[in-house]
């Protein structure tokens, strides 16, 4: 069975609302050149998305400047970089998959996510995430230090509240990563 939150349309709509707010802030700020930002969303074919809310998850909010044509993509709690799986799936599946092969195979069948993809996510959490500017800047704020070997489960534990609040806080914490595609091409 999936995590209960992955089956709860209200949780998805909450994520959508946060992404809406994040994109409004970006649009209001405008482009660095002084130009006006026009909506130019990226189409997405989201995986591990609840069917009831799928239509709301088929675009990643992005803008194009009317003067210099440069793109500005807002931070997101729905999408982790360019991955086709939603960030809540990346976080929850990675938190449950401790790396052992039989467990990974079971989880893969249960969640309908290829083992290869699960392994790539684990590798990203273990090797690349700790090196990101986001984690480098934030890690000292966590006392005692977070066990990087068991990311993201160890990180999720540090966020306060019930399961929904903790996951939401973690997704907000991770959202700056979603506008750094360079570190996120891995593990689609």
Q: Residues in the site for Zn ion, rule: CB under 5 A?
A: 31, 33, 35, 65, 67-68, 70
How far apart are CB 35 and Zn ion at their closest, in Å? 4
Q: Which is nearer to Zn ion, 68 or 105 (CB)?
A: 68
**Shortest Cβ distance from residue 76 to Zn ion (Å)?**
21
Rounded CA-CA distance 30/4 in Å is 38
**Among all chains, which residue has been given the structure tokens 């807002």?**
74
Q: Concatenated DSSP letters for 113-140? A: --HHHHHHHHHIIIIIGGGSHHHHHHGG
Least distance to Zn ion, CB of residue 72, Å: 8
* Residue at token pair 């699960």: 118
54 or 70: CB nearest Zn ion = 70
The C-alpha torsion from 7 through 13 and 15 to 20, rounded to 10°, is 160
Residue 64 CB, nearest approach to Zn ion (Å): 9
Smallest distance, Zn ion to C-beta of residue 27, A: 13
Tell the smallest beta-carbon distance from residue 182 to Zn ion (Å). Answer: 21
- Cβ atoms of 188 and 82 within 8 Å: the answer is yes
Identify which of residues 34 and 144 has a Cβ nearer to Zn ion in the complex.
Answer: 34
Q: Which is nearer to Zn ion, 73 or 117 (CB)?
A: 73
Q: In terms of CB distance, is 10 or 67 closer to Zn ion?
A: 67
Q: How far does CA 109 lie from the centroid of its chain?
A: 22
Give the phi and the psi of residue 47 in degrees, each rounded to 5. -105, 155
Tokens for 102? 């039989």
Contact 41, 62 (CB under 8 A): yes
Nearer to Zn ion, 4 or 36 (CB): 36
């Amino acid at each position: 069975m999936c995590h209960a939150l992955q089956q709860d349309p209200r949780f998805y709509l909450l994520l959508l609302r946060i992404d809406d707010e994040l994109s409004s802030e970006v649009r209001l700020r405008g482009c660095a050149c002084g130009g006006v930002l026009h909506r130019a969303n990226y189409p997405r074919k989201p995986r591990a998305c609840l069917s009831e809310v799928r239509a709301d998850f088929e675009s990643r909010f992005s803008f194009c400047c009317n003067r210099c044509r440069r793109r500005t993509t807002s931070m997101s709690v729905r999408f982790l970089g360019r991955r086709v799986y939603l960030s809540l799936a990346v976080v929850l599946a990675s938190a449950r998959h401790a790396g052992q092969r039989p467990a990974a195979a079971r989880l893969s069948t249960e969640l309908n996510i290829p083992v290869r993809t699960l392994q790539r996510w684990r590798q990203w959490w273990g090797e690349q995430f700790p090196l990101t500017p986001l984690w480098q800047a934030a890690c000292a704020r966590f006392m005692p230090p977070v066990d990087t070997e068991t990311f993201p489960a160890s990180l999720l534990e540090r966020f306060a509240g019930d399961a929904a609040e903790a996951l939401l806080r973690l997704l907000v914490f991770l959202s700056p990563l979603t506008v750094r595609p360079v570190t996120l091409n891995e593990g689609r």
